[in-house]
Amino acid sequence: MPKHTSSGAPKKARWTTEKKSAAAKKPHRGQGGPKTSRPAPAGTSHVGGREWRAPREDRRDDRPSFDRRDDRGERRSFERRDDRGDRGFQRRDDRGDRGFQRRDDRGDRGFQRRDDRPSFERRDDRGERRSFERRDDRGDRGFQRRDDRPSFERRDDRGERRSFERRDDRGDRGFQRRDDRPSFERRDDRGERRSFERRDDRGDRGFQRRDDRPSFDRRDDRGERRSFERRDDRGDRGFQRRDDRPSFDRRSDRGTDRFVDRAPVSFEDAEVERMDADNWTKATRADISDGPVEVAADNGFAALGLPERLVERLAREGITTPFPIQSATIPDALAGRDVLGRGQTGSGKTLAFGLPLITRLLQAELPRRPRKPHALILTPTRELAMQISDALEPLVHVTGLRHKLVAGGLSYTTQINALNKGVDILIATPGRLNDLLERGAVEMDDIAITVLDEADHMAEMGFMAEITTSLDKIPSDGQRLLFSATLDRGIDTLVEKYLTDPVTHSTNDATASVEGMDHHVLLIDPQHKKVITAEVANREGRTVVFCRTKLGADRIALQLREQGVMAAALHGGLNQGQRNRVLGAFRDGTLPVLVATDVAARGIHVDDVSVVLQVDPPADHKDYLHRSGRTARAGDKGTVVTLALPHQRKTMERQLKDAGLDIAPVRATPGDATLAATGATTPSGVAIAEDDFQRLIAGPKAQRRGPAGSRGPRQGSRGGFRPHHGGRDSRSDSRGDDRRGRRGDRAEGLVSRWGDDDRSGDRPARRGARF
């Protein structure tokens, strides 16, 4: 029915394609139009006036695992108990609260929920309530899973057994889960410890908390000091665990055996690695103890109607003049309108949606409620989610709001705990978000603002089903912001389904982003690819090499190292710890060449990438623009080199045209002048020692024990990776009081350095670029 909910645009090409493929995979389910009717009035401020959605049924059914845990209380520490009692009450309140409204609401949501459960009623209800998409989605997912999985080789192996049961009785999952996840318990332990530590910290932070103590909790969520304390605690925790539940330890150890090919063999190693990964947002805490900052009378952000606190915080970093995309979208977004924003790569889209989002939440003064965030920012990759989280952190911080990063590869515990405590802004990747939704750890009832970053990418096949799963749970009267450097028709389905009377802001043409760049398309012979790649990559400054596959990335990185160019691969086949370390090292400057799949194609900001080298041509012109956009950020210069084999020439020419570039491919051979013109030089040819490389990207366990194979001679705690103390380079920190000093010390790991260098005020050239 509601096919014409929103403005015009009746094209359904994408939809059809998607439908087709879904139907092909899952023949038993019919097709249906997009559901979600959006009765919502357009363009009004929803946030303030919005009623709280009646949550739903008792959680008990939905989240057996939690209840179970509660029941099991024995092991719980004291803190835990307090915690529990606390939570118990809250929950009950919640429930009671809902009592009345729930009924109204039930038709709406209560049932949906039930669908997730294995119960019978569900079937009855489902037919109607359930959107078709949802079903397709589900079937789809089942299939996709299988197809998709191969790439996650490891998981495949691991999941083998499970996949059986899983698939057949997905609804049953609740039960299996119980058996399956001993590790949660362990994590519970971790959680406990944290609350312990928290206490110690409390005194520490008394000051900042006065307002409504966002900092305390937020920090807690982020585990900021964890890396710090962890060290002291480590042994401790080990013991506790052993005493408490040896059986679980054993089990999980067994579990990690499946990671045969990887360094961490023990559970502890894996866990430490996880924690490390989860740890890296932490270093970016803003320091609010700094004195007030002059906000110039002509501050452009103030003029846009943003609150003083935000304006001041931005000014503190030298950000006083909004970029075009920001000037264009912020007023409309502040007014509560749905926005489609297209701004060139590196043009500050994060702030364009981040600032109005924060502002509106601030104005709305929504009560913070467990598991019910008020805003959601969805991104296609974990790294991007982290980057956004870090970029917004200081702004969220000064407004007393809380945000939380919810993404795969990071600990569930911190995420769930944070959600339970109440979070305003959720920054998420689709998979983990859906996971947490299924677990009942997060609910969308109170989401008032939704942002889709890289929206066109999210609208592509592989993502669509997953994001609609989440988006369908969001009240339809909220505000929605879709952003990307390339917004094409692919997003029509999304726009139609989820946006109401959107305003489109397109600053420049999508191709304007390429202006600061030199583009070279080199026609080469296959046998020269390896050498030419090395020559182009061997230069001053940072280089990002893009290739099509994960194996390709690994191989090319290896080949580069063999030729004397220090390079490391970044792709989704690595665990999060590895991903973080590699990207951290690249941001850091310790790794000059990053060889990445398209995981790094969008949104990732690294300063001073001088060259983007595309060893494999991009899939389409949009990818060309996004990949290229890793260089020449925020007005900087950059070079883009694309290698094309003879048979790829035509494709490349078309892409260049579509991208609006007037570039002709030129022939190139190793050592040739064309190459030199791009800054290429001949590498030493002396292979980089594997040890040196490993040290560069080694995880914390390698620090303690050495690499998996040669774990004999100890390499001191200063293996280059984690200069825990000292080793602080001179970068950054235009403002440094003792507090920052402390933070710097403990945040020195490569991993936890995200926005750090970006954030320093002494790099005017790139000011604001990280946003």
Partner DNA sequence: AAAAAAT
Q: How far is the CB of 273 from DNA (least distance, A)?
A: 11
DSSP line for 703-717: HHH--STT-SS---S
> Which of these, 223, 176, 168, 174, lies nearest to 201 by C-alpha position?
223
Quick one: tokens of 578? 């590895």
Q: How far apart are the first and last CA of the chain?
A: 40
- Taking the least distance from each CB to DNA, the nearer of 214 and 572 is 572
- Taking the least distance from each CB to DNA, the nearer of 32 and 182 is 182
Q: How far is the CB of 327 from DNA (least distance, A)?
A: 31
- Taking the least distance from each CB to DNA, the nearer of 599 and 640 is 599
Q: How far is the CB of 743 from DNA (least distance, A)?
A: 27
- Taking the least distance from each CB to DNA, the nearer of 434 and 450 is 434
714/424 Cα distance (integer angstroms): 45
475/471 Cα distance (integer angstroms): 8
- Taking the least distance from each CB to DNA, the nearer of 317 and 466 is 466
Residue written as tokens 């809250």? 90
Quick one: tokens of 591? 């790794």
Q: How far is the CB of 573 from DNA (least distance, A)?
A: 6
Which residues does 61 contact at the CB level (< 8 Å), separation at least 6? 114, 117, 119
Q: How far is the CB of 532 from DNA (least distance, A)?
A: 22
Quick one: tokens of 584? 């951290």
Q: How far is the CB of 424 from DNA (least distance, A)?
A: 20
Q: Which amino acid is at 101?
A: Q
Q: How far is the CB of 466 from DNA (least distance, A)?
A: 6
Helix (H, G, I), strand (E, B) or coil at 519: strand
Please, what's the b/e burial string for 589-617 (b: 16 or more CB within 10 A of its CB; e: otherwise)? Answer: ebbbbbbbbbbbbbbbbbbbbbbbbbbbb
> Which of these, 313, 672, 370, lies nearest to 525 by C-alpha position?
672
* 481 DSSP assignment: E
Alpha helix ranges (H) inside 26-105: 46-49, 59-62, 64-71, 78-105
Which residues does 574 contact at the CB level (< 8 Å), separation at least 6? 582
Residue written as tokens 């609208």? 459
Q: How far is the CB of 142 from DNA (least distance, A)?
A: 9
Q: How far is the CB of 6 from DNA (least distance, A)?
A: 25
> Which of these, 746, 762, 758, lies nearest to 232 by C-alpha position?
746
Quick one: tokens of 534? 């090395």
Q: How far is the CB of 292 from DNA (least distance, A)?
A: 39
Q: How far is the CB of 256 from DNA (least distance, A)?
A: 9
Q: How far is the CB of 107 from DNA (least distance, A)?
A: 26
- Taking the least distance from each CB to DNA, the nearer of 603 and 768 is 603
- Taking the least distance from each CB to DNA, the nearer of 345 and 411 is 411
- Taking the least distance from each CB to DNA, the nearer of 380 and 719 is 380
Reported as half-sphere exposure (CB side, CA atoms, 13 A), residue 195 has a value of 18
380/578 Cα distance (integer angstroms): 19
Q: Which helix (H) or strand (E) holds 271?
A: helix 267-277
Q: How far is the CB of 463 from DNA (least distance, A)?
A: 5
Q: Which amino acid is at 660?
A: G
- Taking the least distance from each CB to DNA, the nearer of 604 and 747 is 604
- Taking the least distance from each CB to DNA, the nearer of 572 and 679 is 572
- Taking the least distance from each CB to DNA, the nearer of 187 and 759 is 187
Backbone angles phi, psi at 461, to 5 degrees: -40, -60
| CA distances to 263, 286, 422 from 275, in Å | 16, 22, 21
Which residues does 254 contact at the CB level (< 8 Å), separation at least 6? none
Helix (H, G, I), strand (E, B) or coil at 522: strand
481/343 Cα distance (integer angstroms): 13
- Taking the least distance from each CB to DNA, the nearer of 67 and 105 is 67
- Taking the least distance from each CB to DNA, the nearer of 380 and 749 is 380
Residues contributing to the site for DNA (CB under 7 A): 141, 144-145, 148-149, 151-152, 155, 158-159, 162-163, 166, 177, 180-184, 255, 380-383, 407-410, 412, 429-435, 438, 460-463, 466, 548-551, 571-573, 597-599, 619
